[in-house]
Amino acid sequence: MSRDNDPRRVFSVSQLNEESRRLLEGALPSVWVEGEISNFQAASSGHWYFSLKDAGAQLRCAMFRGRNIRARLRPANGDSVLVRGSISLYTARGEYQLIAEELEAAGLGALQRALEALRRKLAAEGLFDDARKRRLPAFPMHLGVVSSLAGAALHDILTVLRRRYPLLRVTVFPATVQGADAGRQIAGAIAAANTLADSMEPPLDVLLVGRGGGSAEDLQAFNEEAVVRAIHASALPVVSAVGHETDFTLADFAADVRAPTPSAAAELISPDADQLLALVAAQGLRLQQMMAQRIAQREERLKWLSRRLRHPGARLRDQAQRLDELEVRLRNALRQRLRLAESRVASARTRLSARNPAATLADRERLLGQLQRRLQSAVRAALAARRDRLAACARLLDSVSPLATLDRGYAILSGPGGTVVQDASAIVPGTRIRARLARGTLECDVIESLPPAD
């Protein structure tokens, strides 16, 4: 049966991974996961790769540079953390992973558990339902601010409002925003603002509750049940602006609008003066309505397309992750080649040292020196032996030399012609003979020749 006639649906590996990724991202768009960091790696691109593990399993995670630069801690192996992100699939390798968006230290202990229990309790009562969230007035006339008079947050709010919307009246309901009594004061200030709202001129039409940044303990007042219930009970729309962008409190969930910072809250509440001038004309208002309708249509169209099309950012993340992997492989290959080259150089250096003429010349010089010393010793020994032998020969020669006989008192007699006289009868009396002594010679005349004695 050909593939065209096969009733089964056959996926390629890429298609199956892509379909799995789409299902995972659609089913779990955002989750919080707690675990221990292991295999942490910070790539040169700035992306982080690590695993979250507990006693029974582990999960691969990737936190890209655009997100981790805002993280308040740099994780290390062994750290217990809370990670918020979306489940995805790295299609190039078919790996299930968590794309991390936020990361914070875990283990706040009893305080964290109590906060989570309170969040679940209030959520079950409907205090955080999106259905009850109210829109902010487009053109507020009177803003109430619940914050500390001594805090920098109030100064930032007033600075933004003076720049953007100087016509807006602001009334501050002071409250301590940190400490044991802070929660009660904040809840009381919210209740007081609602009580006085209609009696003011003009009436209050929006309420901003917040403070500047701080530690989790500093922001604890905005997690108290009394503050959350006061925000929920407020007849005025409430904007929460607690801490920095990465800080979340229960007050944020209960408020109609959450702003990342007090300055951002002021911008959310106040329209821009230049835009107001443009909206004075009726044509501008109608154009705004048409654009709003068009934008809503485009948003619906975008949502429909986003369910079918993968966001380019996800594809870029995959490519970035693949690039990081290739970079690691390239570095490992270069290190291996470098080690091999270093080994070859060391081996060649060893062989070169073994064949170095200087070493051979030094060996030959040492051998020559030894041979010279041995030759000198042999020559001295030979000369000594020759001297000893010469002395022995001289002694032997002296022992048989006639001159040695002369030293004992004898004389050598020679007749005419220098012949040695051995027989007295051969010399006629009157003949002159010569007697050679050990020292000197005598000329003698023979008087008488006597026969040898018997």
Across the chain, mean pLDDT equals: 85
3-state secondary structure of 167: coil
Which among 78, 56, 204 has a CA at the least distance from the CA of 136? Answer: 204
pLDDT at 25: 63
Task: Give 344 or 276, the one with higher predicted confidence.
Answer: 344
Per-position DSSP letters for 331-379, written without gaps between them: HHHHHHHHHHHHHHHHHHHHHHHHT-HHHHHHHHHHHHHHHHHHHHHHH
Reduced to 3 states (helix: H, G, I; strand: E, B; else coil), residue 188 is helix
pLDDT in tens, 110-158: 466 678 888 899 999 999 999 989 999 988 999 999 999 988 899 999 9
What was the pLDDT predicted at 64?
Answer: 92
Query: What's the pLDDT at 107?
Result: 61
pLDDT at 35 over 80: yes
Non-local (6+) Cβ contacts of 8 within 8 A are none
CATH topology assigned to domain 13-107 = OB fold (Dihydrolipoamide Acetyltransferase, E2P) (2.40.50)
Is-contact 21 93, C-beta < 8 A?
A: no
Q: What is the CATH number of domain 113-271?
A: 3.40.50.261
d(CA 214, CA 157) in angstroms, rounded, equals 17
Whether the per-residue pLDDT at 318 is higher than 90: the answer is: no
pLDDT (mean) for 374-400: 86
Alpha-carbon torsion (424, 426, 430, 432), positive or negative:
negative
Given this chain, do its domains 13-107 and 113-271 carry the same CATH topology? no
Report CA 171 to chain centroid distance, whole Å. 52
Do residues 174 and 148 make contact, with C-beta atoms less than 8 angstroms apart?
yes
Query: In the chain, where are the structural domains located?
Result: 13-107, 113-271, 280-308, 333-400, 405-445
pLDDT tens digits, 216-273: 778 889 999 999 999 999 999 999 999 887 778 899 999 999 999 999 999 999 988 7
pLDDT of residue 188: 95
Closest CA to 240 of 217, 259, 226: 259
pLDDT of residue 113: 66
Whether residue 69 contacts residue 51, with contact meaning beta carbons closer than 8 Å, is answered with: no
Can you say whether the dihedral through the CA atoms of 76, 82, 88, 89 is positive or negative?
positive
* Whether the Cβ atoms of residue 428 and residue 449 lie closer than 8 Å to each other: yes
For 177, list phi and psi in degrees, rounded to 5: -110, 10
pLDDT grade, residue 204 (50/70/90)?
A: very high
Check residue 351 and give its pLDDT: 82
Q: 161 is written with which tokens?
A: 């409002």
Q: Return the structure tokens found at 38.
A: 């292991």
Buried b / exposed e over 361-388, threshold 16 CB at 10 Å, is eeeeeeeeeeeeeeeeeeeeeeeeeeee
What is the 3-class SS of 41-61, one letter each residue? EECCCCCEEEEEECCCCEEEE
